[in-house]
Structure 1
């Protein structure tokens, strides 16, 4: 009787099959790569966020910068130091206002008899250009110069010059309300105005107004041909910020609106002929006020942090040296240092100083402030030795030696001098 073989056990669904190892190997890389990617993202997201914020702040600063691109006293500028408000008032009074940016336009305006020309920065003009413009002026016009110096006054307003101060430079005073103290109709109508700046010395036939310290800040020069030149020591009455103060507006309208046409010269602050000091704005002028306060707060915080974290050293205590060094060894060590550094001048000064201190008590010359009087010391030594005082002055207070041989000769001469003084 035969028995049937046992039936095979049913396959376990959870048991691995022949292809299971390959499948596990295929799925393992996906699982092992997913973890580093998530970890890198968690680490890098803060750096990416900081970079995005930095870009946004840069765009805001670049797009909303507080610095203006208008130059000072530009007739188109609404800035506090611009002159747009004055130009609008002149246009309302019927004055034709235009600008000139080149020498040819400026010369044509100066030649017109019914035109007022304003030079806000006359020192920016080349001296040769100033002479050419002075020759191109026609009769009947008016030229307004703001804070000119003697170089422009000599050509454009002969007889008027800047008032010198005690140091030889042009005298200057702060702007403040000043009475006209003259008969000029424009000044009489305006009354007191904020004047100051440069002070001037007018000619005998010139009209001088708004004096400060006895010297005018506004001068009207009229030549025999009828050409008028108004000189102002400051541009303060013309600016947007101060136009409405005191009688500034009335004075500015009177000086600039006396002719039906007004030409405002626009200096080329970036031209090749402009000196480096022509730009009145510094680097800090282009930084918004908020950034300045932030920088001040950061500096204060840094100073407080440094004071908080500073090392407390405590009081200074004296400590005995563990080894006593002989004076000869100290002298030799300093000599080697002088020789290594080729410091013959320092070595010569040390030798001369020691010789002077040893000679002063022997000659009876007092030592004041650590050094004897040079003239008294040399005179005493010359009187004892009968040598010229100039030779002793060169020996004790001369210049540095040029080589080692000269240094040795100096040392020998000082030793000989001491021996002669002690044993004349």
Structure 2
């Protein structure tokens, strides 16, 4: 038929028996990944390569975890821990204090720290900004009532309001090794020290001793606390206590004098186990969200952002279709027969008839001079086609725009009539 021979026409069912298999489409496979076909060797090879790459990534991650564990096995404790001998631990200063008769006790909760304080005790808080409101209240009560010394390492504005009211931060220090610049005996004996790598402070409280100034503001501040003769030391940087920098400048001398003025040293390392002491005392149960540390919310947010970015990276790209080179060349007649059998198997007479009529109308419109945009208008096309016909009058409108064929025989007859109509118009 003419409808089958044109390259732009959609095929119509062929009157071939349903049991006859298409020579190429069904046997060879019209496209990659057709249902029921075995995977192509190239697909299997690509899948194997992807699996190998995934296993390689997992192996690299596992090796990294093992290497990290091995490298960190020599350090049992963390940052500023007096039991840790790694560069960022503080075991060296703890050992020097022990030689001078100072006993160091490590605690991890605010209640333990407060209970251990007294006139003969120095309380060292290594991370004041990590404390919650209840923990700060407990430490502040201990500062006021103990009569001993409290050393706060690099307290920021978050914790100063609760632990040292009247003191404010004045930005970061810009001098690495400032001079003492004050009459404090511990500072004058130590000389230049590594206090300038952290925060600076400002206060109008009476009796405050300001040492190691940087840009006009002290990086070490000593304040009298309470009526019992105690004092608080605010140290803008924890560098002087680290193992790696203890021997620099006057760091060791300043650290020993600030922490060794009393025979007992309570070394407070805030931890995740440090719960609200008031809630613990009252036996009040906390919800699951209240037990989750605040830092985990940021971690979950980062994981969510990473997941979204990974999804965007691996998602299917939306854009214009890309043609794919087929593994075999298929003749147009074979593709037409194969698609016709698919239409017949699906009982899609409506779709086949619509496509046949639409293709015929477009070709007839070009033959009889009807504009392309009116090719599917029966008022414009039918009279023009009828004027080109000879012989007996025929209902061109019913043929080109009529109802759906009721069975396969009617569909085949429609295809024959359309083909005959087009031939007659061409030869007229």
Output the TM-score relative to the length of structure 1: 0.48
Q: Which has the higher contact order (CA 8 A, sep 6+)?
A: 2
